[in-house]
Amino acid sequence: MNLSLPTLPDGRVLEVIHAPNHLLSVSGLPVDPVDPVVVQLCADLVATMRVSPGCVGLAAPQVGVSAQAFCVDVSAHPKTRTTHGLIVLVNAEMVEASRNDKGREGCMSIPDLTGDVKRATKVTVAGLLPLSGERVLITTDAFEARALQHEIDHCGGTLFLDRVVGAHALYPRKVYLAPPNAAGS
């Protein structure tokens, strides 16, 4: 089931900041979902996520903006069971969460590592849609639930490293490059 999002303007690709940048550990501020600056920020997050290989989510603090805004789209990821397509929310919060399960996570702001993190396997998230300000509830599971929790954490100043159970649960990130096309580029 896809979420019915208002049409966002064209987004710009922004630079993603990396840990230990202090902006990643500061809680984002609540924002007005109909403010044109916030709407543009949401569009920029989507554009930046789309051009980043393997990326399934991005939050405003990751582009240096202290705001509670993020996007998630796990629809093309092989671990996906349930998907709502592109999700863009502001001022999101966890309403309900089930038991935790361990899974591997990575992050564009921590490009060299992945780690095992315990997260709820089923969640209900409430948030506001950019542009319309409509409040939505999203109930999902598995990989999409993990991605939503990861981005809500970013908006609250928490990195996945803060949730890893210890150094034994950290791993060097594997980079998978697409094979060159027939034209040789």
Residues of the domain holding 143: 22-172
Q: Is 134 a catalytic residue?
A: no
Catalytic entry in 93, 105, 144, 151: 151
Q: How many domains does the chain have?
A: 1
Domain of 42: which CATH number? 3.90.45.10
Length of the chain: 185
pLDDT value for 178: 45
The two three-digit tokens of residue 182, written as one number: 């027939």
Whether 106 is in a domain gets the answer yes
- Which DSSP category does 131 fall into? T
pLDDT tens sequence across 132-148: 999 999 999 999 999 99
Whether 83 is in a domain gets the answer yes
Q: What percent of the chain has pLDDT over 90?
A: 83
Whether 2 is in a domain gets the answer no
DSSP letters for 1-29: ----PPPPPPP---PPP-TT-GGGGSPPB
Determine which helix (DSSP H) or strand (DSSP E) holds 44, and give its type and residue range.
helix 36-50
What pTM was estimated for this model as a whole?
A: 0.91
pLDDT tens sequence across 40-79: 999 999 999 999 998 999 999 999 999 999 999 999 998 8
